A and B are shown apart, each in its own frame.
Chain A
Amino acid sequence: MKKVLIIDDSMFTRNIHAGILTELGFENLQADSGSTGIEEYKKEKPYAVIVDLLMPDMDGMDVIKGIKEFDENANIIICSTDRQKFRKQEGKDLGVEHFLNKPIDKDLLSEVLEKM
């Protein structure tokens, strides 16, 4: 089973996302902060990462930079309630094409994960 790493400081949200991933046939890994997310990525080298943007310890964009530094081809999905255009652009600048709005749509997530 392919592993997907969820980086989000909300336990509730991680569990919801984990439930969806299980339904879609993915194994899930969880990290509750940006820094542990990067560590977890390095350790587990998952198939994909779903990352939140607003977290207490670091901004999601910095998490993405940290992961990309280690693995340039990492499959990253930004999942945030932050709908401001400049955030999407920031993601694109870092090479992240997939920006899914929270609450996450199961079909959309499935589509994106298949495409990767």
Chain B
Amino acid sequence: MSTRPALIRQRALYVLAGLAMGTALLSARLVYLQVFQANKLAAMAEAQRTKTIDLSAVRGEIVDRNHKELAVSVDSYSIYANPKDAKVLDASRKEVKSFDRKATAAALAPILGMGAPALEQKLQGNEFRWLVRQQPEAVRDKVRALKIPGLGLVREAKRIYPKGTLAATLIGFVGVDNQGLAGIENAFDKVLKGPPIKLQVQVDAYGREIMREGPQAPMDTTLGDGNQVVLTIDENLQHIAERELAKTLESSGAKRGTVLMMEPKTGNLVAFATLPTYDPNNFRNFSWEAIKNWAVTDVYEPGSTMKMFTLAGAVDNKRIGLEQKFKCPPYIKVEGRLITDHEAPTWNRELTPFDIMEVSSNVGTTQIAFTMKGAEHREFLTRMGFGSRTGSGITGESKGILPALPWRPLTQATISFGQGVSVTALQILSAASALGNDGVRMEPRLIDSVLDSKGKVLQSFPPRSAGRVMKPETVKAMMKMLEKVVSTGTGVEAQVPGYRIAGKTGTAQKIADNGRGYSSDVEASFLGFFPSNDPRFVMLTLLDSPRKVHWAAATAAPLFGHVAAETLRQLGVRPTEPINANKPRPVPKAEHDDAH
């Protein structure tokens, strides 16, 4: 029988063994947690007390070909109210609400330039709401100084268009959350936004962000920069085009107008003016009619400018000779419909292709078109890019309407002088670029490259050719014809002293609003090349429904001349021809685009 001390010793031993075992277990658990589970637990703890927020990079700039800013982003501050967060501890360490709407509104009103009652109305309710967006730094400092619980500030970039309306329909605009809504801003939204910065912030037990001061706080983080989009547009040429177009719209009373200028050798669009336009800084004040880029979205019947493609097709397919003479009566009948030449003499004329182009004869052009089969004629127009998108990448571009085969004689006749076929302004410009590039058509190019914030090229958009669409001999012949149009024909008002200019006028009746027949309104246009001995630019001037003056010869042609003269002067292109100021300019010959 064991004695009492021995019993005590034995029990103590059990206790010690138990304690030792407990300690061993605890130690093992500790090792397990601290060594084997350390990373996982640390991550869990981190996740519990922090959250990651994405701070958008500052939206990249849109610049012209000379890196002049067309759209930039500046820092701004948005102020919000979240009355739920306005809690303070009272004397008994109990949370009490302390959002005094009236006092907050009274304090904020003079800073935000708003009426206190309106602001108080905005502060009703307990949910989060924006009070004002995109305010300058001075406002931020004043709001910060108030230290009102429940009010917060968020830093965000504000988009600014420093050139105002310049190229607005092309550039587009962004919404209040800096999302691209139209134009280049929309098409290159992801590129311009750039990669967001991931920022870890401390949160409280409710998951609410603890706004800290210092470089790690969201308000004070240096944001990354988005990528820069470099356009092919030249802001000076763009300004010239817009200025001259505005003058012509006023003098002609036209509803709207466009001037598109392109380098035929590269496809670079250097000016893309459409009026009326809008200010992207205040786009909400303008109608969609002013905002949309109708030079690519809307189609029109090109009228006589189409004759250059009809003649080019016939010459390229060797259906006519350059000296061949066509008997041109005052009118001809096709499928019972009269095709006439307005103000044509009553006798039969014998006109060469040069003469037909010079006087813009519908009768002569129809006869030339009939030397080709319908399929052949259509195939040539398809090669020129009619009936398909140009590849410019501009949002909302239309394909135009080129009737499907088989063509009735009347269809081919009307298409030959630009009726019964619909094109976009950009499409016909792109087609004409082939004549300025020795027969090789270039796709219109609007984006030059995308650069990162350090100027490194991320993506480049090299000129793209649509291939050879006509022979160089055809181009030479056509340029001679088109030069004659400007020197003695309907396009004399497009002349620029000292330079050779080639081009073609077009005054096409507009389709009536009900879609049946034609209205009394016209589309006046001039499609030309300058200097035509070695074309640097191909340009289209188009006026929709000019009221005061009807004919393109007196509206679109002088507009072409003014823009071309200024452009050549701006770029310092030397004159190639002698300038004779005393030489009287010939009176433009009437053009005839009416199909009856």
Partners in one complex: no
- What is the interface of chain B, defined by CB distance below 8 A to chain A? none
